[in-house]
Amino acid sequence: MAKKNVQTLKSVTIRFAGDSGDGMQLTGSQFTNDTAILGYDLTTLPDYPAEIRAPAGTLFGVSGFQIQFSGQPVHTPGDSPDVLIAMNPAALKVNLKILKDNGIIIVNRDAFQARNLELAGYKSNPLEDESLTGFQVFPVDITTLTKEALKDSSLSVKEKDRAKNFFALGILYWLFTRSMDSTMEWIKQKFKNDPEYMDANIKALNAGYSYALSTELFATSFHVEKAQKKPGKYRNVTGNEALTLGLITAAKKADKELFLGSYPITPASEILHELSKYKNYNVKTFQAEDEIAGIGAAVGASYAGAFGATTTSGPGMALKTEFMGLAIILEIPLIIINVQRGGPSTGLPTKTEQADLLQAVYGRNGEAPMPVIAASSPADCFQTVFEAAQVAFKYTTPIIVLSDGYLANGSEPWWIPPIDSLPEIKVEYAKDPDSFKPYKRNPETLARMLALPGTPGLEHHVGGLEKNESGNVSYDSENHDLMIRLRAEKIKRINDFVKMPELVGPEKGDLLVVSWGSTYGVVRTAIEQLLDENKSVAGYHLRWINPLPKKLGEIIHNYKNVLVPEINLGQLIKILRSEYLVDAKGFNKVRGLPLNIKELRQAILDILKG
């Protein structure tokens, strides 16, 4: 074998693409887990087809998985892949437009047959017509070579074919100078009861690695320096997993039984699935018959003294609003998680979007203010829901936690905080019947006095009708005005408890970029790049949308221009314009994907140029 070169890179973005049956999500997940174990910083973007079981070989049936990893901090899954693994013509066609110039394309040449080319809309074979000039193209007979490696296996032809994703993964492990040990161990555990499948997948993985090592097709492999991380325990975590762990941890810190009332809906269903595994942590999960029953049960559990939570996406939020109003007027702790997706209606259920913000802030009847907090990254979902729980119990209020499809399914390394470093969540209940009044308030937080049902002497009315301090139904107009204002003021006072955002960049300048939710990574990356270029730009990321930070109005007016990037047609910008009378500009893309750093940079530069 000829000696091959090793090239060192600062960061790499890889995209796996093929039909849903090609195992691209599994392949990407295994590469990600190995990357995390090796100590790299990373961010991923699983990209599922919007249609369940879309026809094989079609453009809309392409499933993708993208990962960016580096020895430096990584905030996004990357704009443009350096490497594309395309298992069929459709995967190539869909992703070619985002591949970097001179990027590496590894294609399964076996799939480039007349039928597949036709389904992908190719009139000629791109591997033969020079249309891929400008890229490094490596055609590999992945299907044929996988079957050859498994020729002694008793598996069927179809079953052997399914192992080709591990052959492709073996090529990647050689290309990026990786050990295959972690994936080998995973295969052994996954298929320990199916030795034939275990043997086939291990053989396919080894065959792919050996092919890349021995063939003259690949003359260079690549090495990325590992990240220098602070000491501690880490694990790779998706946003939905982090939300799950955050709910459990908060319940334990509050010394509460966790009750989740939920109805399955993409992309929030995984939280229900994950929580159902933790019964030994005093967790109860209830899969309700519909969205309304899910939140109704959670409201009941919270009123009865449990830690009540419910999960959903945009369409489910629409159905839950009546019970949200009940939770607001009852003033009880409740966590409502909305994992946003493409809408309206069913829309693009597997794609990401930020279009439920106005629904979260305003989408209820009557004056019904509710705190709204948004996670910024997959790992941040843990801290976000934990902080939401602190607020819910301290201020006796339901609270909306916003995630989205990108955060829910994407992953990154998570530094696991020592349990002792997390604060206890204090929950106080009334005990003295003589002084008990259900709507008597804490003078600092305006939280009302809670009482556990069944406590002797603390019987009181509940329901959706307006009450007075004693808990009796009140139709008095002045009392209603008072209670409306108290509930609104209580939400404002949350600012006295939460940490204010950090301003990245100069305190005054030409442009302030205000971000929220999953736009954090793209905005942070663009701002850091432009600050290195001495541009007069700063970034301010909103964790809390309601209430808005106290000093936001003052900060906004220290800049000549304000830009608000969102994966919607402009929702936060409406709030900022009305609240601060600022002529903010929007950067809005609604493509079912995270924002693009290059496009955002250009928008910022255009504003700076006037």
**282 shares a domain with 177:** no
**246 shares a domain with 305:** yes
The predicted model gives 21-39 an average pLDDT of 94
**207 shares a domain with 247:** no
The predicted model gives 28-39 an average pLDDT of 94
Residue at 27 is within a domain: yes
SS3 10: coil
Residue at 534 is within a domain: yes
**200 shares a domain with 289:** no
Is the pLDDT score of 3 beyond 70? no
Is the pLDDT score of 2 beyond 60? no
The predicted model gives 16-29 an average pLDDT of 94
Residue corresponding to tokens 């006095």: 449
Which CATH number is 11's domain given? 3.40.920.10
The predicted model gives 601-606 an average pLDDT of 98
Answer yes or no: are the C-beta atoms of 182 and 34 closer than 8 Å: yes
Amino acid at site 469? E
Which CATH number is 597's domain given? 3.40.50.920
Mean pLDDT score of the chain: 96
Q: Of 421, 454, 479, which one is at a domain's C-terminal end? A: 421
**415 shares a domain with 325:** yes
164-193 pLDDT per residue, tens: 999 999 999 999 999 999 999 999 999 999
How many domains would you assign to the chain? 3
Is the pLDDT score of 52 beyond 90? no
Split at pLDDT 50, 70, 90, the class of 51 is confident
Q: 533: how many CB neighbours lie within 10 A of its CB?
A: 9
295-311 pLDDT per residue, tens: 999 999 999 999 999 99
pLDDT (0 to 100) of residue 412: 96
Residue at 448 is within a domain: no
**105 shares a domain with 23:** yes
**507 shares a domain with 381:** no
**380 shares a domain with 263:** yes
Q: Which residue has the higher pLDDT, 61 or 20?
A: 61
The predicted model gives 73-97 an average pLDDT of 97
**284 shares a domain with 350:** yes
298 phi and psi angles, rounded to 5 deg: -65, -40
Residue at 444 is within a domain: no
Q: Of 391, 421, 451, which one is at a domain's C-terminal end? A: 421
| Structural domain of 591 | 503-608
Distance spanning both ends of the chain, measured CA to CA: 58
Task: For residues 295 and 319, give the distance between their C-alpha atoms in angstroms, rounded to a whole number.
Answer: 9
**285 shares a domain with 206:** no
Split at pLDDT 50, 70, 90, the class of 219 is confident
**241 shares a domain with 217:** no
Q: CB under 8 Å to 255, separation ≥6 — which residues? A: 427
The predicted model gives 118-138 an average pLDDT of 96
Task: For residues 8 and 322, give the distance between their C-alpha atoms in angstroms, rounded to a whole number.
Answer: 57
Is the pLDDT score of 48 beyond 50? yes
Q: Which helix (H) or strand (E) holds 104?
A: strand 104-108
Q: How many residues does the chain have?
A: 610
The predicted model gives 513-522 an average pLDDT of 98
Instruction: Tell which residue, 255, 300, 284, has the closest CA to residue 429.
Output: 255
Split at pLDDT 50, 70, 90, the class of 1 is very low
Residue at 315 is within a domain: yes
Residue at 79 is within a domain: yes
58-79 pLDDT per residue, tens: 999 999 999 999 999 999 999 9
Q: 539: how many CB neighbours lie within 10 A of its CB?
A: 25
Is the pLDDT score of 349 beyond 70? yes
**325 shares a domain with 192:** no
Task: For residues 338 and 403, give the distance between their C-alpha atoms in angstroms, rounded to a whole number.
Answer: 6
Q: Of 155, 188, 223, which one is at a domain's C-terminal end? A: 223
Residue at 436 is within a domain: no
Q: How distant is the alpha carbon of residue 272 from its chain centre?
A: 15
Residue at 341 is within a domain: yes
